[in-house]
Structure 1
Amino acid sequence: MGFTQEHFLGINTSHKTTMLNVDNNPAELVNLSNKVDVSIFHLSVNASNNKINMLDFLDTDKSSEAYESDLLSGDNPFNSTINLKLIGPSIGVRINNWGFGFKYTLNANVSLTDVDPNLIDIIEAEEDLITEIQTNENQRITAIGYQTLDFSVARNIMENETSKLSAGLTLKLLASEAYANGGINELNVSIERENDELYFSNGNASIDFAYAGIFSESFEDYNYSFLGNGIDGLGTDIGFNYQIKNENSKYAYKLNLGLAIKDIGSINIDENARRETYTLAIPETERFNASEFEDVENTEDVIAILEDSPYFTSTDSETTVKVKLPTSLNIYADYQVYGNLFGTVQINQSLVKNSENTVIPNYSTYALIPRYSGKSFEAYLPLSVSTISSFNAGFGLRLGGFFYVGSSSAISAAFSDTIKKADVHLGFRFGIGKSKRTSTTQETSNSEID
């Protein structure tokens, strides 16, 4: 699962088919390059936004006014996301027309969605001021951490001398660690900063505030525990794969087409969970001191401020928090151009509406990935456009069948003056048993480790 759907971009469509390809599309299980594929780990971390140049964080001389200028540029609201995906121990087995797999995954995300940059500027301002904010968007801050146990199965549906078609399914057992969401919809308010205090008046908005797991105790302390809250949700990936075979080559296919709908489902959290919705109504002649939120240490402190204020009226209260997974449509085509040269076109289309308070924010990515792909070495060049961070160019390497490292933004970071994304992915795995194809139509011995 990803939140920007850019995790492992470039390596997860390699002709060296591993459990990383299966994470991208469960139908790839029947295409594993080895009879048995064992992953030690796969790690992807990325951060992206739509306004701030991330190279500026390396410039110690960068002034706060310069960051403010970046943030306030253009008319678009500010969007930002930081994601981590760790695929732990996993195994896939190819048996005749069947494939079976298991993997463990840890996901974490922090996102700002459709935030008015002027509101951030006002909060960070030091001088006294009076202004107004009028927005139609649902401004959100969201944080979530959860684990999954994934069980996958795939089968060849049709196969002949020239092509084959397969289908696959992954069932995900979801275990939440922590969740928090704060949403302010259609905020219209007068704001005054006076003597370092921030006051709201003449204001209206709809407020959603939800939390679960460890965030009920603290925003800062986090102690990981394996499936600490038990299983509290189900998710599904459904995929199809079609290959045009390459009988006269050491590679199994001339063209590899895939389609998958990923992350169907939701998490229903009832461990230390609460969702509250409020309407905000502040008369023109009265003021609410928003600086009270500066010293909160946990979610209960936030709830106490809202419920003690006469300007917030509760409209709904729930003790179970439902969080929809970041569902996406994944389509790709990997084509052997000539010899060891391949080209991939990949579309990861988000199917969720980020303004909804119950959704994990997700962004779409469209990529073109040229690659040189040999048995023991692979180099790939992901060129992508994201709906949050625009264009990025990256680079990655696979060494042997064991180790890979890459980034979908490395070239942009090295040669561009402005980047709005930074990421890295790496992993280690090995295969046991017969490779799918190592020469013409010959298979290797059962003892091969690759």
Structure 2
Amino acid sequence: MNYFKSLTTITFFLFSYLGLSQSYVGHSIDNYSGIIGVIDNPSNIVDSRFKTDINLMSASTFIGSDYYAIDFGELFGEDVDIDNTAQISASEKNNFFSNADIIGPSFMFNINANNSIGVITRLRVFANINNINGSLFESLNESFDETNDFDFDSSNLVSTTHAWAELGISYGRILYDDYDHFLKGGITLKLLQGAGVSFFNSPGFSGNYDASAQTIATAGSINYGSRNDIYEDDPIDFEDLKTGFGADLGFTYEWRRNNTTDGKGHNKYLLKVGLAVTDIGSITYDDVTQYNYDLNNQTESTINYNDTEEFLNENYSFTEITKKIKVNLPTALRLSADYHIDRSIYLSLQGAFSLIKNNTQFTNKINNAVTISPRIETKWFSFYTPVSFRQYDDTAWGAGFRLGPLTLGSSSILSNVISDNSKSTDLYVGLKIPIYQSKKYN
């Protein structure tokens, strides 16, 4: 396995593996998003516009980096080589990121006017590389071909790829309602099933590459480990699983100024504000194989370099241990505000912020993002066009729609079309059976 080459292709593998699959940006704030809104804030399960919402299948994928900037129009040609078509922005601390989220058969329904429950099944894959030296990454990815001399000093390099499944039980309750002011809360408790993890970490390593001699001098240390290595070509194995537990917690407040509307089938608010903490929890793997490489005071030839792991094994001393590691979920704080402008016109502001530090080992993290999204929303149809300002100097503009049971969208499709240096892309699709509230239901 060439670990570094795998890192550059893992996000595209996820995209092709899922077919049409930050998740569901623009759609999740829709009052008719159903289960999708619950994964962002579990309080959305109660006082919804549905009697019952049955998700058949929804999928989302998100990929990007601050190393590659891509003209997506060139990716559809024959024999595309991303390394030759992309604009490279190498820095001391580059970052790569991707996630894929499949929501399987799931449902939510009302117990009564004040209480609702639901069951959510999900399959998720996250991949992060944080703080990797861009020049070193480029040389490793190119097998040190056509490389000039360079020095590198890398600290707090962390990379984690993790695959797991979830079974969530959601509950929501109306906490306060006096016509003008409305408050609800919700919680999702999750049974987690971990399929495997791969990681590559270093507290610090440095060195220099001599292009004429084709040698690399190094100092420091690197740790590599895996359980059920999910970089292999075979599909992810969900037979040998490890159990963990997780939770989401959220609240929503609505200002219902001069509200005179009865029934659950209407949106009554002028302003709606939400707060949630999602993906609290972890999965512990007790039989992870880890290799600790000592890179100190060595100069090695890179001639015939083909594989990073093989190069390390042949040239550096290492110890192999079996250890227990706890892999944390990508815990995040999510804030939202939705303003009802007039009739079917809304304007939302959403923020998603990682509660995981950039140098934390054995965990994944979301990218911090703030999204502004105008939308037209009716019972059977919604259209939204989100603009997102994301971490790593990434701005994305997208569009999506909901037409009855079908949802399709991307928070970056428009910026990908008009820009020749896009840093991220995403796509989501969903199919469900919506059973709407009666306008007279209380």
Under a length normalisation based on structure 2, what TM-score does the superposition of the two structures give? 0.84
| Alignment partners' CA distance in 1, 2:81 and 2:333 | 41
Give runs of ≥4 in structure 1 deviating > 6 Å.
Answer: 61-65
Q: CA RMSD in A?
A: 2.9
- The amino acid of 2:188's aligned partner reads T
**What whole-Å deviation, never above 9, does each CA across 1:387-431 have from its counterpart, x for those lacking one?**
03511110011112x111111011112223332222111101123
**What whole-Å deviation, never above 9, does each CA across 1:2-23 have from its counterpart, x for those lacking one?**
xxxx100111110225111111
Which residue of 244, 250, 255 maps to 1:244?
255
- In structure 1, runs of 5+ residues without a counterpart are 1-5, 297-301, 445-450
Closer/same/farther in 2, CA of residues 184 and 54 from structure 1, 3 Å limit: farther
Alignment of 1:399-414 (within 5 A): 399-400=403-404, 402-414=405-417
Q: Are 1:389 and 1:421, in contact at CA under 8 Å, matched by a contact in 2?
A: no
**What whole-Å deviation, never above 9, does each CA across 1:285-338 have from its counterpart, x for those lacking one?**
x4365966x358xxxxx4x875675x4454x94422221111110000111011
Which residue of 295, 308, 333 maps to 2:337?
333
**How many residues get paired?**
413
Report what 2:30 is aligned to. 14
Closer/same/farther in 2, CA of residues 64 and 367 from structure 1, 3 Å limit: closer
- The amino acid of 2:110's aligned partner reads R
Closer/same/farther in 2, CA of residues 421 and 200 from structure 1, 3 Å limit: same
Q: Are 1:128 and 1:194, in contact at CA under 8 Å, matched by a contact in 2?
A: no
Is 1:114 equivalent to 2:112 in the alignment? no
Report what 2:10 is aligned to. none
Which residue of 33, 42, 45 maps to 1:29?
45
With 51-60 and 177-186 compared, the bigger mean Cα shift is at 51-60
Give the secondary-structure state (helix, strand or coil) at the position aligned to 1:372.
Answer: strand
Closer/same/farther in 2, CA of residues 63 and 362 from structure 1, 3 Å limit: closer
Which residue of 398, 414, 432 maps to 2:435?
432
Q: Are 1:130 and 1:190, in contact at CA under 8 Å, matched by a contact in 2?
A: no
Is 1:280 equivalent to 2:295 in the alignment? yes
Q: Are 1:200 and 1:290, in contact at CA under 8 Å, matched by a contact in 2?
A: no
Closer/same/farther in 2, CA of residues 32 and 17 from structure 1, 3 Å limit: farther
Report what 1:377 is aligned to. 381
Give the secondary-structure state (helix, strand or coil) at the position aligned to 1:14.
Answer: coil
How far is the alpha carbon of 1:59 from its aligned partner?
A: 5.5
Alignment of 1:115-130 (within 5 A): 115-123=132-140, 124=142, 127=145
| Alignment partners' CA distance in 2, 1:406 and 1:38 | 19
Give the secondary-structure state (helix, strand or coil) at the position aligned to 2:135.
Answer: helix
Closer/same/farther in 2, CA of residues 168 and 325 from structure 1, 3 Å limit: same
Which residue of 244, 247, 268 maps to 1:233?
244
Which residue of 84, 108, 131 maps to 1:92?
108
| Alignment partners' CA distance in 2, 1:288 and 1:170 | 53
Q: Are 1:372 and 1:380, in contact at CA under 8 Å, matched by a contact in 2?
A: yes
Is 1:205 equivalent to 2:205 in the alignment? no
Report what 2:161 is aligned to. 143
Closer/same/farther in 2, CA of residues 200 and 417 from structure 1, 3 Å limit: closer
Give the secondary-structure state (helix, strand or coil) at the position aligned to 1:31.
Answer: coil
Alignment of 1:152-171 (within 5 A): 152-171=170-189
Report what 1:448 is aligned to. none
With 138-147 and 341-350 compared, the bigger mean Cα shift is at 138-147
Under a length normalisation based on structure 1, what TM-score does the superposition of the two structures give? 0.83
Q: Are 1:350 and 1:362, in contact at CA under 8 Å, matched by a contact in 2?
A: yes
| Alignment partners' CA distance in 1, 2:201 and 2:267 | 50
Report what 1:386 is aligned to. 390
Report what 2:348 is aligned to. 344
Q: Are 2:135 and 2:152, in contact at CA under 8 Å, matched by a contact in 1?
A: no
- In structure 2, runs of 5+ residues without a counterpart are 1-21
Give the secondary-structure state (helix, strand or coil) at the position aligned to 1:234.
Answer: strand
Q: Are 1:407 and 1:425, in contact at CA under 8 Å, matched by a contact in 2?
A: yes
Is 1:321 equivalent to 2:338 in the alignment? no
How far is the alpha carbon of 1:237 from its aligned partner?
A: 0.8
- The amino acid of 1:114's aligned partner reads N
How far is the alpha carbon of 1:357 from its aligned partner?
A: 2.0
Closer/same/farther in 2, CA of residues 288 and 237 from structure 1, 3 Å limit: farther
Closer/same/farther in 2, CA of residues 33 and 127 from structure 1, 3 Å limit: closer
| Alignment partners' CA distance in 2, 1:229 and 1:34 | 37
- The amino acid of 1:103's aligned partner reads I
| Alignment partners' CA distance in 1, 2:194 and 2:359 | 22
How far is the alpha carbon of 1:81 from its aligned partner?
A: 1.8
- The amino acid of 1:171's aligned partner reads L
Closer/same/farther in 2, CA of residues 222 and 214 from structure 1, 3 Å limit: farther
How far is the alpha carbon of 1:223 from its aligned partner?
A: 4.4
Identity of aligned residues (%): 24
| Alignment partners' CA distance in 2, 1:54 and 1:224 | 34
Q: Are 2:116 and 2:173, in contact at CA under 8 Å, matched by a contact in 1?
A: yes
| Alignment partners' CA distance in 1, 2:95 and 2:270 | 40
| Alignment partners' CA distance in 1, 2:340 and 2:59 | 27
- The amino acid of 2:419's aligned partner reads S
| Alignment partners' CA distance in 1, 2:152 and 2:377 | 53
How far is the alpha carbon of 1:232 from its aligned partner?
A: 1.8
Report what 1:299 is aligned to. none
| Alignment partners' CA distance in 1, 2:382 and 2:302 | 58
Q: Are 1:171 and 1:236, in contact at CA under 8 Å, matched by a contact in 2?
A: yes
Closer/same/farther in 2, CA of residues 331 and 129 from structure 1, 3 Å limit: closer
| Alignment partners' CA distance in 2, 1:19 and 1:337 | 25
Give the secondary-structure state (helix, strand or coil) at the position aligned to 1:427.
Answer: strand
Q: Are 1:10 and 1:369, in contact at CA under 8 Å, matched by a contact in 2?
A: yes
Give the secondary-structure state (helix, strand or coil) at the position aligned to 2:50.
Answer: coil
